[in-house]
Structure 1
Amino acid sequence: MRTQKIILSLFVIFLTNSFISIHAQTEDISLEDIWSGEFSQERMQNLQSLKDGKSYIVQDYDRASQTMKVDVFSYKTGEKTATLFSSNSIPGLSIFQTFSLSKDETKVILGTEVEPIFRHSTKGIYYVYDLESKKLTQLDDAKIQSPTFSADGTKVGYVKDNNIFYKNLETNSTVKVTTDGEKNKIINGVTDWVYEEEFAFVRAFEWNPGGTKIAYLKFDETKVPEFSMDLYGRYGQDLYPSQEVFKYPKAGEDNAKVSLHLFDLESKSNSGIGLDAYEYLPRLKWTQDENLFSIQSFNRHQNEIKLYLINAETKEARLVLTETDNAYVDVTDDLTFLKDNSFIWTSEKDGWKHIYHYAEDGSLINQVTDGAWEVTNYYGFDDKSGRIYFQSTENGSVNRDVYSIVANGKNKVRLTRKTGTNRADFSADYTYFVNTFTNTTTPAVYTLHKAKNGKLVREIKDNSALLTKLDGYNLSPKELSTLEVNGNELNTWMIKPPNFDPEKTYPLLMFQYSGPGSQSVSNTFFGTNDYWYQMLAQQGYIVACVDGRGTGFKGRDFKKVTQKELGKYELEDQISSAKLFGARDYIDGDRIGIWGWSYGGFMSTNAIFQANDVFKAAIAVAPVTSWRFYDTVYTERYMTTPQENPSGYDDNSPITHVDEFDKGNYLLVHGSGDDNVHVQNTMQLIEALVQANKQFDWRIYPDKNHGIYGGNTRLHLYTLMTNFIKENL
């Protein structure tokens, strides 16, 4: 197995004038500070380049006037040159929550009363505002989903009641594209729950470049089992509970039958497109040819992906690329068609995720990038220079840098200079990019650079106000390092008490997520949980995190070793890491705890059940307790089906190991309205623990989803967890 050798010697020392200087710190962090937003960072919200490549826009909210606006800035000077539109300048619209510009930037879709459906999907009341005529047009009287301009900006497609519609803005007429949509049976133009959650795919219709055709997916959910979820409501408002019922395919059960269709606006006709055998159609995209579009398909095991090109005139589907893997193949969002219909594709077929250039017929032109590192973001291709822009881990798996390279794989240029995490937003003509930089001691810094060579043009925003505020708090550095565990070099971070004394011993709390392809150890600034860890450190705890086998950005083999045995190798690495930490003189090996959320809760539960000689306490929030309860797409990608792999499902299930929980302290938390990891996971584990006469603590948050938030909820949850740690560790 190939692993990267990473030298991480930074961020362990106290910097003279840094916010982490002990001498300047006087105040401890409270939970109220954390959840009040006291430590929020300034950001460039909805940063987008305008088509001229000379200007960019940023969304802003003026609290004083309660006005939402979108301002225009010059790349060259950094000055604000205009307000493109604002809520107080649009008659009949007091506020908007979302916006999307037409391709020609003469119109904008504005969303109001937008509410979430599931993790990625929303519905709302939407308007089209003409920036030239100042005319405001409501798209539909009801709440709709996924409104999208045609390329020429004369029409807007959207979904309502599981059917596709489009509104002709020139004639103010509406056309119903499909008619068979029905809740929990047929969905047109948006995806079902499992596609949304596991493929991050919601809008399932696409306009062709000419605005004359719409390619779309249809989901037949008829045979998918239903899941019901009770909603209890609020005291004094809801006398009876309500129930939400939706289709949720659990591992081994029937998926929705998905099919590909094409609607012709001129003839107002729908056509089905035939494909070879498949289970999933996770991506749909037009080429630059208005009569040629692509579809990606997966088999059920997701270890074979196929790319088809579809002729919109003849309806012929031509297979141009097939990729297989012994474990699974990840769906790619990086597919980019060039003017000659050759295309850019990313793949980890050589063991690391890299960029490839293929001809229209699927023949390989060349592998653009290569090496023992991963491409982590594909930014685009510049027609003028022939250069591809991307982000990668070439400078270490915990870091990110931005590069450009000629499409033939030559003349690679590193465009970012600072070691940490760099993310780029390019101007439309690839003259400039806005770089967002962060590392363990630096909150987001926004700077403007030349795309040609990465030369700094100027700073835009640096979060200096946050650093000044943090100067007054008693903080510790987040130390990055590695551990040699089970033959692998694992990335870790550690936060020690501000007054750390190596002659003393401290209890240790370990955090981990551990899910396939994830990353919890990175060279980035504090997130919300990091402030909680700082608070715990101030109270005498050491907090650490280890990314074990199965996590991402260290090559295919490191990530996919967990195939068919989720939880086995990840747990081995957490146990071994805990033992290595416990052997250090300054850590009390008898007072080690572990916690996690979702997959991390699955892991922390397994840890306290199977290794309570190592872990004294564990917290599991919204955990999977058996992969038999989880959805098809995610679970079968890593485990195949329960029918094919029953031992893989059961041997590493926490429910299987309840009898081994003979000492230690365990806190189990779930939201009853979790549509993702259902509270059924927790309820069945509770019953198993009760029947085994095992004592533990648990808490259910009524009607809260997988994120367990809203109102005072997060503060309450973290108070609960803090008290549990202080009492049991």
Structure 2
Amino acid sequence: MDGQLSFPRQHARTQRFSLGAPRSFTVSPDAGRVVFLRSRSGTDRANLLWVHDVDDGVERIAADPAALLGDRGEELSAEERARRERSREGSAGVVAYAVDNAVELAAFALSGRLFVAELRAGTARELPVPGPVVDPRPSPDGRHVAYVSGGALRVVAADGSGDRALAEPEGDGVTYGLAEFVAAEEMGRHRGFWWAPEGDRLLVARVDDTPVRRWWIADPAHPEREPARVAYPAAGTANAEVTLSLVDLDGAARPVEWDRARHPYLARVHWSAAGPPLLLAQARDQRGQLCLAVDTDSGRTRMLHADEDPVWLELFGGVPAWTPDGRLVRIADEGGARVLVVGDRPLTGPQLHVRAVLDITDDDVLVTASAGPEAEEPGTGEIHVHRVTELGTERISEGVGVHSAVRAGAVTVLASTSPERSGASVTVLKDGKPAGSIASHAERPVLTARAQLTEGGARRIPCAVLLPTGHREGDGPLPVLMDPYGGPHGQRVVAAQNAHLTSQWFADQGFAVIVADGRGSPGRSPGWEKSVAGDIAGVTLDDQVEALHAMADRFPLDLSRVAIRGWSYGGYLAALAVLRRPDVFHAGVAGAPVTDWRLYDTHYTERYLGHPDERPEAYAANSLVTDKGLSGAAEQVRPLMVIHGLADDNVVAAHTLRLSSALLAAGRPHEVLPLSGVTHMTPQEQVAENLLLLQVDFLKRSLGLD
């Protein structure tokens, strides 16, 4: 690699050093194969489907997009682009795949076409079906593949014969087999259909988004183009109507019945051979939810468990689910801790903060967890893999870092990051012992992050502090850059090298950079996360100030020159900081900020602020654009740059435009940087590189560092 390549260009070209790294692992139940995705190099966007042989360690290609598509480039449908935006997917080629139970047949879409790969033989072929194809999935027995095309759920035999529609939309705004916006964006549910274990029928979601308000997203740089029309369920407005049916392979359907009026959100669906299908249905205010079992003959449901919380109920990966002997597995907030519950018995306590369930067997449950509120060691930024049994808990991952795993039978694939090395190491374990590794082709960064992970203030706020490379004690105080996300669902202080690379680059421009995960951030305790209810602005901003002052007692910080930058919620926090606390913050860069919470989606916003018709005062107090929101701004004016992608369909550009109008009306100078054709992600290489450079230039100019 060219040693003169700048970090901003390398960071952009490698898509944050994600290209070339193995991901999306699946282990075969016979312990013979590990299937995964990886591109050929750290700058190649096109993922290939690979198979790793556990016994001999040999890797082979199961599907190569270049060979399958030939000279034709990728063409993505609107549905596929939306799926990738919701999952923040910026790569190309095979970006997702699904397998049968034996992990012998994989199905995937390329350029809207359906392909299958025989994983033992290593051959791939196209199935001639109507396109564009979205989310193809083999039946558990490998005999059929179901997929979505044109809003219809279709099925085809694995040999390409018998293609037919099982459920077709009755009109515009109706789809079968796809997740609605809030499910994919906020609930972590990206699917809309689920195979029966026997492969003879499916559970299929029908989404009718005709009640949802329509918005128009235009590209002002191309006035000759029509604006895109999108269904966006803003806070307080109608959601899509989601129903569920059991559909046989001949198209016969039976509706699944539950009280959708009280629990309209279909948050989770699970169907395994261990028991009947499970649904997790949430109330709109997210303070109540039901775990339901579906009678597959009648479609009726029965309640297995009901949860209530006076603040809100969190959703978790991998649950609800069954143990092989038919006990319900769930994660619950009990006694101030987040615990794993199997049947009626909690199997973990306040020493662990359980985050997700990875695998369930007769003998144990594999989970990821952070240190709990009563852990002996705080483990700042660490996430580990634990094996939980009736007799206790055993940690599987070793060393300081962030770890995750995929397991089937005797084989576990353990992916581990650490503060000392870039990227993740992927180890294949068989019967608990190392049996090989899966190589990464990701590029090595041109700089090394030297994050000091600590806690500060009376609340012990997790912080990462980064000083310029080569900085020595006695060099004098440094201007400060706060670099938070700082809000719900976004943990930034993690024990991983790559997570802090951009912060280190900013530090190397002459700043002391502080990343602080205040209240509302995940990974500590339920009470910590839920303390932002009704006051996300005040709580999260107070914690940034507390973290800054706590770090000033231990590091050489110049508190007369403090800037803040952030994206999305971090962008909101940055704008909030310079407007409401100019006594602390002297310049800010707000990227894609949510400035008016009435313009953000239902499931996220109403969780924290309630329904706007019932709590208008909360929306006014937490907004940056209402009279009450701006009235909280101090008279002292600090430089503010606001950046927004005009094609963003998550945090729409209206947020920035309304903030700019409100600031202009109040006579407050500011800068706005519009990004034509850019969504909530910034995958374009030149855009991503120059955004970093422009931010540094603005911050230095604003703090008088030129």
TM, length-normalised to structure 2: 0.87
Equivalent position to 2:315, from 296, 317, 331: 331
Structure 1 position 199 matched with structure 2 position 187: yes
**Match for residue 165 of structure 1?**
154
Distance 1:382 1:86 in 2: 34
**1:104 paired residue number:** 102
2:335 paired residue among 350, 353, 371: 350
- For residue 100 of structure 1, what is the amino acid of its counterpart? A
Partners of 1:181 and 1:464 in 2: how far apart? 46
Q: 1:636 to 1:88 in 2, by over 3 A?
A: closer
- Kindly indicate whether residue 382 of structure 2 is the aligned counterpart of residue 382 of structure 1: no
Q: Distance in 2 between matches of 1:464 and 1:660?
A: 46
How many Å apart are 1:273 and its aligned residue?
A: 2.2
Query: 2:205 aligned with 1:208, yes or no?
Result: no
How far the C-alpha of 1:38 sits from its partner, in A, is: 10
In 1, Cα distance between equivalents of 2:35 and 2:495: 28
- Residue in structure 1 matched with residue 300 of structure 2 by the alignment: 316
What do the CA deviations read for 1:473-509 (whole angstroms, capped 9, x no partner)? 5x5621111101xx31111111112232443121000
Q: Is the 8 A contact 1:224 1:255 kept in 2?
A: yes
Please point out which of 550, 553, 559 is paired with 2:523: 553
The 3 A distance-change label for structure 1 pair 248 and 43 is same
SS of 1:497's equivalent? Answer: coil
Q: Distance in 2 between matches of 1:499 and 1:133?
A: 50
* Superposed counterparts of 1:20-31, under 5 Å: 30-31=7-8
Determine the structure 1 residue equivalent to 2:621: 651
2:561 paired with 1:602: no
Q: 2:272 aligns with which of 287, 291, 297?
A: 287
Whether the 8 Å contact between 2:380 and 2:453 is mirrored in structure 1 is: no
Q: Secondary structure at the match of 2:595?
A: coil
C-alpha contact (below 8 Å) 1:440/1:525 kept by paired residues? yes
**Matched-pair contact (CA < 8 Å) for 2:107–2:116:** yes
Deviations 1:484-541 (A, max 9, x none): 1xx31111111112232443121000011111243111111123xx333333323321
Whether 1:506 aligns to 2:478 is: yes
Tell whether the 8 Å contact from 1:514 to 1:570 is kept in structure 2 after alignment.
yes
Note the residue ranges of structure 2 that are not aligned, 5 or more in a row. Answer: 74-92, 372-376
Cα distance change, pair 58–556 in 1 and its aligned pair in 2 (3 A): closer
| Change over 3 Å in CA distance of 1:221–1:61 after alignment to 2 | closer
For residues 203-236 of structure 1, what are the alpha-carbon distances to aligned partners after superposition, in whole Å with 9 as ceiling and x for unaligned?
2111111222221222222221111111346xxx
Superimposed CA distance per residue, residues 624-653 of structure 1 (whole angstroms, 9 cap, x where no aligned partner)? 001111111100111111111111111122
What SS is found at the alignment partner of 2:51? strand
Q: In 2, Cα distance between the equivalents of 1:264 and 1:332?
A: 30
Q: Distance in 1 between matches of 2:176 and 2:232?
A: 17
Match of 2:288 in 1: 304
Opposite residue 188 of structure 1, the aligned amino acid is Y
1:462 shift after superposition? 7.9
8 A contact 1:598–1:623 mirrored in 2? yes
Query: Identity over the aligned pairs, expressed in percent?
Result: 21
Q: Secondary structure at the match of 2:570?
A: helix
The answer to whether the Cα contact below 8 Å between 1:150 and 1:211 also exists between their aligned partners in 2 is yes
Q: SS of 2:491's equivalent?
A: coil
Q: CA deviation at 1:585?
A: 7.4
1 CA distance for matches of 2:63 and 2:601? Answer: 42
- The AA in structure 2 aligned to 1:390 is V
**What pairs up with 1:86-485 in 2 under 5 angstroms?**
86=64, 97-98=94-95, 99-113=97-111, 124-129=112-117, 136-169=125-158, 172-183=161-172, 185-232=173-220, 240-266=224-250, 268-276=251-259, 277-288=262-273, 292-334=276-318, 335-358=320-343, 364=344, 366-383=345-362, 386-394=363-371, 396-406=379-389, 408=390, 410-426=391-407, 428-429=408-409, 431-446=410-425, 448=427, 450=429, 454-456=432-434, 461=439, 466=444, 470=446, 477-484=450-457
Offset, 1:142: 1.9
Equivalent residue runs for 1:675-694 within 5 Å: 675-694=649-668
| Displacement after TM superposition at 1:602 (Å) | 0.9
Give 1:310 shift. Answer: 1.0
Greater shift, 172-181 or 556-565, is seen at 172-181
Return the alpha-carbon distance in structure 2 between the equivalents of residues 541 and 579 of structure 1.
16
In the alignment, structure 1 residue 47 sits paired with structure 2 residue 25 = yes
Q: Which has the larger radius of gyration?
A: 1
CA deviation map 1:33-68 (0-9, x unaligned): 433339837522443322311332344445799997
**Are the structure 2 counterparts of residues 712 and 146 from structure 1 closer, same or farther at C-alpha, using a change threshold of 3 Å?**
same
Deviation of residue 302 (structure 1)?
0.6
Does the CA contact (< 8 Å) of 1:566 and 1:648 recur in 2? Answer: no
The alpha-carbon deviation at position 596 of structure 1 amounts to: 0.9
Cα displacement string for residues 151-171 of structure 1 (whole angstroms, at most 9, x for unaligned residues):
222222122222222123468
- Once the 2 structures are TM-superposed, how far is the Cα of residue 181 of structure 1 from its aligned partner? 4.2
The 3 A distance-change label for structure 1 pair 347 and 499 is same
State the secondary structure of the residue aligned to 1:667: strand
1:491 aligns with 2:462: yes
After superposition, the Cα gap between the structure-2 partners of 1:425 and 1:631, relative to the gap in structure 1 and judged at 3 Å, is same
CA gap 1:180/1:692 in 2 versus in 1, 3 angstroms: same
* Farther-moved stretch of structure 1 (90-99 vs 155-164): 90-99
- State the distance in 2 between where 1:585 and 1:381 align: 45
**Cα contact 1:262–1:312 (8 A) shared by 2:** yes
Maintained 8 Å contact 2:154/2:164: yes
CA distance in 1, matches of 2:455, 2:516: 8
Distance 1:39 1:673 in 2: 21
Find the residue that maps to 1:167 and give its secondary structure: strand
Q: Distance in 2 between matches of 1:643 and 1:498?
A: 51
Superposition pairs of residues 515-594 of structure 1, within 5 angstroms: 515-527=487-499, 530-582=500-552, 586-594=556-564
Question: Structure 1 length normalisation: TM-score?
Answer: 0.84
Q: Is the 8 A contact 1:447 1:456 kept in 2?
A: no
For residues 673 and 615 of structure 2, the distance between their equivalents in structure 1, rounded to whole angstroms, comes to: 32
Q: Give the Cα separation in 2 of the matches to 1:244 and 1:667.
A: 27
Q: Aligned partners of 1:357, 1:320: CA distance in 2, in Å?
A: 13
RMSD (Å) for aligned C-alpha atoms: 3.0
Contact 2:564 2:574 in 1 (8 A): yes
Query: In the superposition, relative to structure 1, how do residues 707 and 463 fare at CA in structure 2: closer, same or farther (>3 Å)?
Result: closer
Would the aligned equivalents of 2:263 and 2:289 in 1 still touch at CA under 8 Å? no
Distance 1:66 1:157, change over 3 A: closer
Secondary structure of the 2:167 match is: coil
CA 1:661–1:265: 2 relative to 1, 3 Å: farther
* 1:151-197 Cα deviation digits (max 9, x unpaired): 222222122222222123468122222233434x2222212222221
Q: By how many angstroms is 1:702 displaced?
A: 1.2
CA distance in 2, matches of 1:192, 1:354: 29
Mapped partners of 1:437, 1:254: distance in 2: 42
- The 2-side partners of 1:305 and 1:274 are apart by 15
In the alignment, structure 1 segments of 5+ residues that lack a partner are: 1-25, 114-123, 359-363
Residue 623 of structure 1: CA displacement?
A: 0.2
Counterpart code for 1:307? C
The alignment covers a number of residue pairs equal to: 664
Tell me, yes or no, if the aligned pair for 1:567 and 1:652 is still in contact at 8 Å: yes
Letter in 1 for 2:647: G
Write out per-residue CA displacement over residues 658-687 of structure 1, whole angstroms, 9 at most, x where no aligned residue.
653532111011011110011111111111
Note closer, same or farther for the CA distance 1:220–1:90 as it changes in structure 2 (3 Å cut): closer
Aligned to 2:638: 664
